Amino acid sequence: MTDAAPAASDPLRPVRLWLWSVAGLIFAMVIVGGATRLTESGLSITEWKPILGVIPPLTHDAWLAEFEKYKQIPQYAQLFPTMTLGEFQVIYFWEWGHRLLGRVIGLAFALPLAFFWWRGMLTRGLKWRLTGLLALGGLQGAVGWWMVTSGLSKRVEVAPERLAVHLLLASITFAAIIWIATGLKPKAAEASKGLKGWAYGMFVLVLAQICLGALVAGSRAGLTYNDWPFMAGHLVPPMENLSRLDPWWLNFLENITLIQFQHRLAAYALLALALWHMARARRLAPGSKAARRATALAGLVGTQAVIGVVTLMLVVPIWAGLLHQAFAMVVLAMAAAHARRLS
């Protein structure tokens, strides 16, 4: 009887655990996506087959046929003209695994959603929010293919702005699931006066910084200016380097100097905001859960800044690039949960 009491007092616990599990799968998806990008694997599958694409090539002839398709795109001709079939199979399986995990996430979300809906465990508002998330996940698959198509004809990689949209959409989905799951847990009211706005601002800035980081990754801007805190000896790069493209707005998307510089500036702003929010929370609500979360969040942001500097100065080895991307999602998860608790 005592074991059943917590479940009776928390009927949404199964729903909450399911949402946290899906968030974990999306976290894994982001890491696999990062590895796919860093290993130049994202263009190895040149077709989008939502159903039949689940099955990889099973015979030698099927592998040769897939390899021939890859040989038709600029990436093979310009970057990997001596690639062997065995090397192609390695990058193929990275991309195949990335797409397969996306399908798994879709099923892991849709099937339990249908079950909880059928059992009457969801409120009307929760039904709408979760249905919206399901649609967002479907959109993510389409955006992923839209991203891949940008690298199949005139480029040797995907367009950085499309990569940024793809990662931003995944991050929004991840954060939204955490936001909803956090809000389903019974909790005591927290004093949020003077804190909520700052927490919301930090949450939005984390999302913006992830988007800017995707532009850095997609344009390979992290392979340049590998000194810190300077950029080729300058704290602020010369204006002619920051605005050399015309029209001016194109610099924000294609000028690697400005792309890296704006990512650095956003990191400094985020760290300053996190420290300010921590100090404010400890002053307005000393010893509270909000103050402890704000302190933890500042620590995470500081750690992420260190990881970013190390990744840059080491010229983005795969392990460091993956760690930087993974820790960004950890920061985002904490920022989302903290802001939701103060709502």
Q: What is the pLDDT of residue 185?
A: 81
User: Per residue, what are the HEC states of 128-183?
Assistant: HHHHHHHHHHHHHHHHHHHHHHCCCCCCCCCCHHHHHHHHHHHHHHHHHHHHHHHH
d(CA 285, CA 283): 6
222 and 343 both lie in a single domain: yes
Q: Which of 186, 202, 225 is the endpoint of a domain? A: 186
Contact 140, 166 (CB under 8 A): yes
Note down the domain range covering 73: 1-186
Residues 176, 242: one domain? no
Q: Are residues 154 and 234 in the same domain?
A: no
d(CA 55, CA 38): 24
Residues 204 and 178 in one domain: no
Same domain, 260 and 228: yes
Phi, psi of 161 (to 5 degrees): -70, -30
Query: What is the structure's pLDDT at 4?
Result: 44
Domain count, the chain: 2
- Looking at the fold, whether 224 and 331 belong to one and the same domain comes out as yes
Please state, rounded to an integer, the average pLDDT across all residues of the chain: 92
- At 186 the pLDDT is 73
Cα 289 from Cα 334, distance rounded (Å): 13
DSSP state of 189: -
pLDDT recorded at residue 205 = 97
Do 321 and 336 belong to one domain?
Answer: yes
Which two structure tokens, joined as six digits, stand for 102?
């996306």
Do 197 and 181 lie in one domain? The reply is no
Rounded to two decimals, what is the model's pTM? Answer: 0.92
User: Which residue among 166, 186, 206 closes a domain?
Assistant: 186
Residues 60 and 126 in one domain: yes
Distance CA 33, CA 42 (A): 8
Spans of the chain below 70 pLDDT:
1-8, 188-192
pLDDT at 77: 92
Contacts of 98 (CB under 8 A, 6+ apart): 29, 32, 33, 36, 41, 42
pLDDT for res 5: 45
Verify that 174 and 31 share a domain, yes or no.
Answer: yes
> Which residues are within 8 A (CB) of 155 and not within 5 positions of it... i.e. 6 or more apart?
74, 75
Question: Does one domain contain both 196 and 181?
Answer: no
State the virtual CA torsion across 114, 178, 316, 227 in degrees, nearest 10. 160
Q: Which of 186, 214, 237 is the last residue of a domain?
A: 186
- pLDDT number for residue 189: 63
313 with 180, same domain? no
